Structure 1
Amino acid sequence: MRFRDVAWRAMSGYDLESVFAIANKVHPGFFEAEEVLTEKHTLYRHGCYILEVAEKPAGYVLSHPYRRGELPALNTLLGSLPEEADSFYIHDLALLPLARGIGAAGQIVAALTKHAEAMGFASIGLVAVNGSVPFWEKQGFVTEDRPELAKKLGAYEDAARYMTKTL
Structure 2
Amino acid sequence: MQAEDLPAVIQIAAQVHPDYPEDEAIFIERQQLYPQGCWVRQHGSQLCGYLISHPWELGAPPSLNSMLQALPNLASSYYLHDIALIPTGRGTNATSEILAHLYAHALGAGLGNLSLIAVNQSLHFWQKQQFQPANHLVPAAKLLSYDVDACYMMRPLASPRIQQSITA
TM-score, with structure 1 as normaliser: 0.90
Match among 126, 133, 137 for residue 136 of structure 1: 126
**C-alpha displacement at 1:155, in angstroms?**
1.8
**C-alpha displacement at 1:154, in angstroms?**
1.4
**C-alpha displacement at 1:147, in angstroms?**
6.4
Alignment of 1:80-159 (within 5 A): 80-146=70-136, 148-159=138-149
CA RMSD, Structure 1 to Structure 2 (Å): 1.2
Which residue of 1 is the match for residue 32 of structure 2?
42
The list of structure 1 runs, each at least 4 consecutive aligned residues, that deviate by more than 3 angstroms after superposition, is none
Task: Point out where structure 1 has 5 or more consecutive residues left out of the alignment.
Answer: 1-10
Report if aligned partners of 1:18, 1:57 keep a CA contact under 8 Å in 2: yes
Task: Point out where structure 2 has 5 or more consecutive residues left out of the alignment.
Answer: 158-168
**C-alpha displacement at 1:148, in angstroms?**
4.0
For residues 24 and 117 of structure 2, the distance between their equivalents in structure 1, rounded to whole angstroms, comes to 20
Report if aligned partners of 2:37, 2:52 keep a CA contact under 8 Å in 1: yes
SS of equivalent to 2:139: helix
Larger helix percent = 2
Q: In the alignment, does 2:7 pair up with 1:17?
A: yes
Identity rate of aligned residues, in percent?
A: 40
SS of equivalent to 1:107: helix
TM-score, with structure 2 as normaliser: 0.89
Provide, for residues 58-82 of structure 1, a one-character-per-residue CA deviation record: whole Å limited to 9, x for no partner: 1100000001111111111110001
